Amino acid sequence: MVNVIGLGYIGLPTALMMASHGVEVVGTDYNEELVATLNAGKTTFKEEGLDELFADALKSGIKFSTDYQVCDTYIVSVPTPYDKLDKKIDPCYVVAACKTVLEVAPEGAVLVVESTVSPNTIDRFVRPLLTEAGRGDVRLVHAPERIIPGNMVYELLHN
Ligand SMILES: NC(=O)c1ccc[n+]([C@@H]2O[C@H](COP(=O)([O-])OP(=O)(O)OC[C@H]3O[C@@H](n4cnc5c(N)ncnc54)[C@H](O)[C@@H]3O)[C@@H](O)[C@H]2O)c1
């Protein structure tokens, strides 16, 4: 099972796309209102093809929750705001999400950071979390999303 953490512009379509292709997916966000909207069968933003993808994912059994799940794969797609002057990102959301994942992840889980981060962010801010938590068993992956806004659903499928 895959737990997608952060159901915004990137995380929600990622979760829906995997679910609609037969992967068991739970989408998690700490925004209770957002999760309630999704559980009420409504999408949270407009994007071409998103409503159809949402309907497919619901049929395939996708679930939405404010809880992090116990599962084998986590995809973290939380915000990485950046300072327009020095172009440095703020890793605090990624760090917080990864810390919570490490509290629940079973042995050997895969932790994918999908958020966009500057070079070296994983080594400086994320990998040390695994060491601090004594979680050398967790397999860390960085796979930043490359879609262009406005063409999200097509690009997720074809990139
Ligand atoms: N928006 C784009 O066009 C785009 C394109 C490519 C890459 N990205 C990157 O993808 C990442 C996500 O961006 P986005 O646009 O989807 O952000 P977003 O603000 O639309 O969504 C992020 C979601 O994460 C949730 N969240 C934050 N911290 C959390 C936590 N600890 N636990 C659970 N949920 C949490 C928020 O409530 C929010 O719903 C960023 O790194 C961004 O740079 C964005």
Domains and CATH numbers, the chain: 2-158 (3.40.50.720)
Residues 6+ away with beta carbon under 8 Å from 157: 17
36 by DSSP, 3-state: which?
helix
CB pairs under 8 A, 24+ apart, for 119-124? Answer: 121/89, 121/91, 121/94, 124/91
Q: For a pocket test of ligand 1, which of 33, 35, 77, 87 has the largest count of ligand atoms closer than 8 A to its C-beta?
A: 77
* Whether pLDDT at 86 is above 90: no
If pLDDT is split at 50, 70 and 90, which confidence band does 87 have?
A: confident
Q: Which residue has the tokens 């063409």?
A: 151
Structure tokens at 27: 């989408």
* Whether pLDDT at 84 is above 90: no
In this predicted structure, what is the pLDDT of residue 85? 87
Structure tokens at 141: 């992956």
Q: Which of 55-59, 80-84, 142-146 has the highest mean pLDDT?
A: 55-59
Residue nearest ligand 1's atom 10 by CA: 115
Atom of ligand 1 nearest to the CA of 10: 16
If pLDDT is split at 50, 70 and 90, which confidence band does 77 have?
A: very high
